[in-house]
Amino acid sequence: MKALLALEDGRTFRCRSFTGPGETGGETVFNTSMTGYQEVLTDPSYRGQLVTMTYPLMGNYGTCPEDIESGRIQVAGFLIREYQEFPSNFRSTAPLADYLKQQGILGIHQLDTRALTRHIRKTGAMRGCISTMELDPDVLVKRARRIPAMAGQDLASAVTCDQPYFWKDGKPLVCETDIRTMGRPAPTCKDKPFFVVAFDFGIKYNILRGLSKAACDVLVVPAGTDAETVLALEPDGIFLSNGPGDPEPVTYAVDTIKTLIGKKPVFGICLGHQLLGLALGGTTYKLKFGHRGANQPVKNLLTGRIEITSQNHGFAVDINTLNRKDIEITHINLNDDTLEGFRHRRLPLMAVQYHPEASPGPHDAEYLFDEFRKMMENR
């Protein structure tokens, strides 16, 4: 089925739909991962985005319920070069096209993804609109320009959980008790002595698996949960999750984090890293085309080692706005020298911009979950 992708700057790309008719729009970005498309599709950090995969072949291993990172597909649309409709994988339960169609997500192929990626790298991520029903370039460009810009959007409130839940036996378990009066829950087993409250700004399931592996019982709470409620739960540590959109409008979370700093050990990832930077007096800005992929090089300034990391973000903390008397820079991006990690010199607090839980991606940074556990042990 013929389709058209139109960008807000007037550039258009002819393509075809492999999921049937439809129209959608969002910020057009690219991901450089070679595999892991199902994890990408279900990552809440991609809410409101048209995701282009730079690796040409997608769909070859199908889809599997065990590989999801949230309860639904999060991307606005999926853009690829070549779709493989006959998957070869003993774990597969459905082809990629069926998986997308079941959730009403438009999938596009026979698109010149290399040209699109080069264009985004040159001009920056921008709004785009895809349609199989409207193939007039001028009309579709106008529709792309009417899509809300990513800057200024609080999307964390759109993807956060409706009610608190525990992470138990590898899956969410809704908390039936009012957490405002619940108090600290009893440990589920002797092998998990630490209790962590995780703010859900768009949390990935593999983060919860990583915390659980690090001997933590985890209670996930909505993004708008206040500091008083969290402290009443008497956690050993507080986790700030990844998520979509611009961190600056998420002022309610920044105010809560300010109150929590110094009270308990805090670990932030991705959007959580940015919100923690804002709470410490820093500022954030939008990157030209962001960092998205499972092969991003980061230097650990504490050890001198290079880590290959999984990343997904379009905003960054301005490294020059953090108070260096209190904040120590721990990680730097080797492609563009942007801030990838910091910790407080006196308080139990650390954050990284990338994803140590990977999924998809390498496991170079899994040690950070152990660092968080040690921070709670020392506390």
Mean pLDDT of the chain: 97
Q: How far is it, in rounded angstroms, from Cα 334 to Cα 82? A: 31
SS3 225: coil
Mean pLDDT throughout 101-125? 98
Q: Is residue 247 part of a domain?
A: yes
Flag whether 151 is in a domain. no
Q: What is the CATH classification number for the domain harbouring 50?
A: 3.50.30.20
Q: Report pLDDT digits (tens) over 45-86.
A: 999 999 999 999 999 999 999 999 999 999 999 999 999 999
| Final residue of a structural domain among 146, 174, 201 | 146
Model confidence, pTM: 0.96
Instruction: Residue 355: give its domain's CATH number.
Output: 3.40.50.880
The answer to whether residues 126 and 219 belong to one domain is no
Does 262 lie in the same domain as 333?
yes
pLDDT band, very low/low/confident/very high, at 188 (cuts 50, 70, 90):
confident
| Residue 192 binned pLDDT confidence (cut-offs 50, 70, 90) | confident
Q: Note whether 140 and 28 are within 8 A (CB).
A: no
355: annotated active-site residue: yes
Q: What is the mean pLDDT of residues 252-264?
A: 98
Q: Are residues 208 and 130 in the same domain?
A: no
Q: Tell me, yes or no, whether 276 and 341 share the same domain.
A: yes
Whether 175 and 114 share a structural domain? no
Q: Residue 172 — φ and ψ, nearest 5°? A: -70, 140
Q: Does residue 211 sit in the same domain as residue 309?
A: yes
- pLDDT surpasses 90 at 333: yes
Query: Do 134 and 195 have their domain in common?
Result: no
Q: Tell me: do 76 and 180 sit in the same domain.
A: no
- The pLDDT of residue 264 is above 90: yes
Percentage of the chain beyond pLDDT 70 is: 100
Cβ count near 33 (within 10 Å)? 20
Given the residues 69, 216, 270, 340, select the one marked as catalytic.
270
Evaluate whether residue 252 is within a structural domain: yes
Domain limit, last residue, from 146, 168, 196: 146
Q: Is the pLDDT of residue 39 over 90?
A: yes
pLDDT score, position 144: 98
Q: Where are the alpha helices (DSSP H) in the chain?
A: 37-41, 96-102, 113-123, 137-146, 156-159, 179-182, 205-213, 227-232, 251-260, 271-279, 367-378
Same-domain pairing of 123 and 183: no
Is 270 an annotated catalytic residue?
yes
Residue 289: domain span: 156-378
Q: Which of 146, 178, 196 is the last residue of a domain?
A: 146
Q: Work out how many domains the chain is built from and give that number.
A: 2
Whether residue 210 sits in one domain with residue 184? yes
Burial of 158 (0-12, 13-18, 19+ CB in 10 A): middle
142 and 266 together in one domain: no
C-alpha–C-alpha distance, residues 312 and 31, integer Å: 8
Q: Which of 119, 313, 344, 355 is catalytic?
A: 355
Please check whether residues 258 and 194 belong to one and the same domain.
Answer: yes
Q: Transcribe 70-139 into DSSP letters.
A: SSS---SEEE-SEE-SS---TT--B-HHHHHHHTT-EEEES--HHHHHHHHHHH--EEEEEESS---HHH
Mean pLDDT across 365-372: 95
